């Protein structure tokens, strides 16, 4: 459900059963944007293509392109282009960190219409936090000039492992009180309570997963193996393979912060020696506090790094070396084309440390075509990924058919 448009393989030439949803996917992906191209790609007759497109037009999901007609290489009349109409609905997205959150109203193509950030402490529990998000959403919709009835779905990024089928976090080390909680249900109710609008689908995923999804789609769409490592209060990784998030069998893929690295430090998960216990933003903040430097979180470390604080820079570089040692194994295993460092520590000192150990420990073949970069979307990456997750879910071919039938078209 979360892959890039055009990857189902259904709407190919000779695929006589291609549905209206398959045609929409071809248009959204840019693989076929005229009636003739849709006929050629699917093998459907002109009349059948016309009937299925008519359903999409009546739903308000397609429009004729503003760019004007396109001439056919075979001659004859120019063909009118088709494009996805992103004006018929909006998406709500939120990205939770341990003590801070961001929320936004997005178009269906990812344009940010309104945004808010503020203090929201996950330790206050899901009931309070998700209720407050509902209030934020109502205010953001008013700011963006959109009605709550225009919202087609909500995407939420959380700092813990998520069961994809239920949307519930599973034994999250830094989210006390959230284990197994019905996040989807509570956030849907909060949306309705604060807006008066009917319930909408809510999708939940790990923050590193959604950051990776947003960054890969925005800046590296042709990269078939993409890894993002978020280093903030904790450490987590998101992996996108062939345009889809790789989650593992139960949502636990990418949890590299709890790989044991031989240290004696106690981790928040209760174990000793986890990477997050010695190399996360929280770990660096504790080291700085021991040195008499006021720091209590990864965001405090980020501010010190921006200010050029020497002790913060030295400890960030050391943390980068520890993470780079672990990433050498990750890179050797996955052979990604892009390794992106994001989060509070994603600055020059940390990145320098990562590169020192990564290139020293990983096989040359694994790094020969590897780009090690920092975030392009910055603090908006999780929001963009959460919005994209909702859109790809709601406009997947099978879901399109279900929704068109519900609309009576």
Give per-residue pLDDT as tens, 178-200.
999 999 999 999 999 999 999 99
Query: Region 249-266: what's the mean pLDDT?
Result: 89
- Positive or negative, the Cα torsion across 23, 26, 27, 29? positive
Give pTM, 2 decimals.
0.90
Give the mean model confidence (pLDDT) for residues 60-85. Answer: 72
Identify the band that residue 75 occupies on the pLDDT scale cut at 50, 70 and 90. Answer: low
* Cα(83)–Cα(219) distance, integer angstroms: 22
Rg (CA), the chain: 23
Q: Is 349 exposed, middle or buried (0-12, 13-18, 19+ CB in 10 A)?
A: buried
Q: Which residues pair with 338 in a beta bridge?
A: 226, 371
What digits encode the pLDDT tens for the residues 88-132?
Answer: 999 999 999 988 999 999 999 999 999 999 999 999 999 999 999
Residue 5 is predicted with a pLDDT of 38
CA nearest to 105, candidates 52, 157, 69, 141: 141
Beta bridge partners of 274: 260
Measured between alpha carbons, how far is 282 from 97 in angstroms, rounded to an integer?
13
CB 312 within 8 A of CB 284: yes
Answer for the pair 84, 61: CB distance below 8 angstroms, yes or no: yes
Six-digit token string for 91: 């998406």
**pLDDT surpasses 60 at 299:** yes
- Give me the pLDDT at residue 233, please: 85
- Rounded to 10 degrees, what is the CA torsion of 43, 46, 47, 50? 100
Question: What mean pLDDT, rounded, does the chain reach?
Answer: 92
* Percent of the residues in the chain that have a pLDDT greater than 90, as a whole number: 86
């Amino acid at each position: 459900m979360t892959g890039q448009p055009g990857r189902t393989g259904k709407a190919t030439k000779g695929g006589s059963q291609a549905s209206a949803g398959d045609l929409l996917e071809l248009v959204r992906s840019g693989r076929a944007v005229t009636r003739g191209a849709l006929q050629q790609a699917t093998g459907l007759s002109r009349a059948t293509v016309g009937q299925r497109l008519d359903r999409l037009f009546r739903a308000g999901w397609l429009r004729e392109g503003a760019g004007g007609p396109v001439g056919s290489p075979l001659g004859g009349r120019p063909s009118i282009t088709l494009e996805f109409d992103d004006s018929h609905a909006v998406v709500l997205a939120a990205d939770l960190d341990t003590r801070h959150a961001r929320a936004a109203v997005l178009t269906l193509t990812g344009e940010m219409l309104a945004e808010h950030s503020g203090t929201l402490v996950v330790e206050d529990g899901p009931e309070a936090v998700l209720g407050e998000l509902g209030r934020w959403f109502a205010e953001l919709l008013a700011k963006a000039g959109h009605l709550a009835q225009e919202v087609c779905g909500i995407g939420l990024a959380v700092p813990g492992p998520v069961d994809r089928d239920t949307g519930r976090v599973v034994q999250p080390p830094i989210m006390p009180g959230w284990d197994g909680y019905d996040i989807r249900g509570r956030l849907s109710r909060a949306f309705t309570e604060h807006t008066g609008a009917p319930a909408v689908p809510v999708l939940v995923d790990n923050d590193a997963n959604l950051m990776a999804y947003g960054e890969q789609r925005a800046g590296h769409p042709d990269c078939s193996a993409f890894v993002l490592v978020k280093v903030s209060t904790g450490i987590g990784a998101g992996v996108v393979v062939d345009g889809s998030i790789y989650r593992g069998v139960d949502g636990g893929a990418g949890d590299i912060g709890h790989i044991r690295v031989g240290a004696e430090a106690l981790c928040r998960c209760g174990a000793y020696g986890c990477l997050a216990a010695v190399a996360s933003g929280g770990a660096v903040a504790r080291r700085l506090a021991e040195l008499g430097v006021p720091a209590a979180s990864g965001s405090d470390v980020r501010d010190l790094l921006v200010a050029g604080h020497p002790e913060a820079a030295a400890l960030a570089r050391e943390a980068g070396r520890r993470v780079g040692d672990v990433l050498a194994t990750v890179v050797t295993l996955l052979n990604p084309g892009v390794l992106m460092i994001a989060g509070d520590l994603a600055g020059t000192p940390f990145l320098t440390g990562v590169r020192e150990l990564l290139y020293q420990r990983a096989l040359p073949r694994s790094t020969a075509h590897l780009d090690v970069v920092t975030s392009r979307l910055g603090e908006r990456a999780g929001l963009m990924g959460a919005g994209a997750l909702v859109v790809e879910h709601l406009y997947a071919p099978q879901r399109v058919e279900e929704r068109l039938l519900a609309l009576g078209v």
